[in-house]
Amino acid sequence: MVASPPRRPPTPADPCALVLFGATGDLTHRLVIPALYNLSRTNALPESFALIGVARGRTTTQAWRDDLRASLEKYIRGAIDENAWRRLAERMTFLPGDLADAGFYETLRGELDARTATQGNAIFYLAIAAQLFDVVTQNLSAAHLLDQPQDEDGVRKHWRRLVIEKPFGHDLASARALNAQLQKIVSEDQIFRIDHFLGKDTVRSIMAFRFGNGLFEPIWNRDRIDHIQITAAETVGVETRGKFYEQTGALRDMLPNHLLTLLSMVAMEPPVRFDAAHMLSKRAEVLAAIPEVEPGCAVRGQYGAGDVLGRPKKRYRDEANVAQNSGIETYVAMRLEIENWRWAGVPFYLRTGKHLSKRLTELAIRFKPAPSTPFRDAVEGMRPNWLHLRIAPDEGISLQFEIKRPGPAMDLASVRMDFRYDDWFPKEPNIGYETLIHDVMTGDQTLFMRADMVEQTWRIVQPVLDAWAASADLPAYVSGGAGPAEADALLAREGRRWLPIEAA
């Protein structure tokens, strides 16, 4: 491994309390607590920090701590740093309560007021089902827990922030309703719409790669790029999430957030500065320039039985909590365009699916061929140049290009130049939420979604949702394959094809 320069320390976080609604739920065990533990391990938590867990039940603080400590064994690689866990655990308090009981929020306010070291700063993290957002936010507002009072000089006495998890709505209408509801009780700069996908270092490195290197920006446009493929392939099925997936499906679960976020980052114009105001505005511009997707430019599918990584898998309709006649898609492929100067005429192909042959999240940029070449008669012909930005697994960047094969003949061979993060930087504990939670503490909204951006993403896919709701056509695909044949036809009609998932 080549030595890398020292990393800049993170922006210090203000003293604060984090109130975690859904403190005994799956999200808390799997993501939130492991992230807070990693922040404790790297000394990134504020010195004055309190974690108040809220949920139904009669669990004690010690029992809650013990349960979360046990679950860390599942989600943290390597041995637990007991000192780091102790520093976090001793700041944890469990507060049982009924989320619909207005009196409970008065009790919560008393708990916050008693923690004077946090200086009144508080984060309310809603790790709960979306249908509970309204009752919780209304009660927080009624108890004045979201207020940010100012002194006589207009200086804010403390800050209050609200974190909500995706999905941010179920369609365009519900997204607009959710935004309207939230904006009645808090300002936009208090709302942090969190998506763990944006916490991955390799997602954020897309912007560093584009705007930190003069080599690529001049060719990052319609003149040099033929098309872009964005893939999020999973080998897992719905596992224990059948009930959730029956209400969601692959499109709602992945397109308006994960894949359109990647698209906005790879296609945005250069910001003046890397801060929330400029970054969000540039990403929003891209989303606003994408026309609504016509149903004929989208394909869905549902996995059948098959073998994934050598193991037999059942079909989706045989999964637990899934209807035998379910019409929910587990695969989506879609063609989009961006109507602006840089990208006019360049198609973006997006795909995501479960029970596919390989786990892979990447952006693949295919460049146009040289306008004229003396190598038309080379034995293997001219293969296209591809740039791969791998998000997961094996994070890195690779460039495919042509060279001459050794020997007397002018034969061309396609080769790849690879950069792997693990070869240059030491591995650090990171599940994707650490950066995002720390950003909430510092008030940095760069990696979050603004209200208008959320509504734009739903606008883009709404015609497809409407068409699919009115149609029973749902192709099946074999588990362990590449998805339905109809997805291949989506590109083939324009003389293109998907890159093989297995070859990435």
Write the CATH number for 24.
3.40.50.720
Residues 434 and 385 in one domain: yes
Q: Is residue 504 part of a domain?
A: no
Range of the domain at 216: 198-492
Q: Is residue 498 part of a domain?
A: no
Residues 119 and 29 in one domain: yes
Beta-carbon contacts of 143 under 8 Å, excluding residues fewer than 6 positions away, are: 102, 105, 106, 108, 109
Determine whether 311 is exposed, middle or buried from the number of CB atoms within 10 Å of its CB (0-12, 13-18, 19+): exposed
Q: Is residue 177 part of a domain?
A: no
Residues 212 and 256 in one domain: yes
- How far, in Å, CA of 195 to CA of 208, rounded? 20
Residues 157 and 220 in one domain: no
Q: Is residue 182 part of a domain?
A: no
Beta-carbon contacts of 392 under 8 Å, excluding residues fewer than 6 positions away, are: 200, 202, 359, 360, 361
Q: pLDDT by residue (tens digit) across 185-224?
A: 999 999 999 988 888 877 888 888 999 898 998 999 999 9
Is 144 annotated as a binding-site member? Answer: no
Residues 86 and 224 in one domain: no
What tokens does 236 get? 């897992």
**Residue where a domain terminates, one of 114, 143, 165:** 165
Q: pLDDT by residue (tens digit) across 324-378?
A: 999 999 999 999 999 999 999 999 999 999 999 999 999 999 999 877 666 666 5
Report residues of the chain scoring pLDDT below 50.
Answer: 1-2
Residues 159 and 207 in one domain: no
Q: Which of 421, 290, 406 is nearest to 347 (CA)?
A: 290
Is 56 annotated as a binding-site member? Answer: yes
Q: Is residue 269 part of a domain?
A: yes
Residue 380's pLDDT is what?
55
Residues 323 and 427 in one domain: yes
Residue 503's pLDDT is what?
66
Is 157 annotated as a binding-site member? Answer: no
Residue 1's pLDDT is what?
47
CATH number of the domain encompassing residue 329: 3.30.360.10
pTM for the full predicted model: 0.93
Enumerate the β-bridge partners of residue 348: 228, 336
Kindly report whether the peptide bond that precedes residue 393 is cis, defined as omega within 30 degrees of 0. yes
> Which of the following is catalytic: 29, 258, 388, 438?
258
Q: Is residue 497 part of a domain?
A: no
Q: pLDDT by residue (tens digit) across 292-317?
A: 999 999 999 999 999 999 999 999 99
Strand order of the β-sheet with 92-96 is 92-96, 49-55, 16-21, 122-126, 160-165, 191-194
Residues 158 and 284 in one domain: no
Is 280 annotated as a binding-site member? Answer: no
**CB–CB of 337/348 below 8 Å?**
yes
Q: Is 355 a catalytic residue?
A: no
Q: Is residue 24 part of a domain?
A: yes
Is 313 annotated as a binding-site member? Answer: no
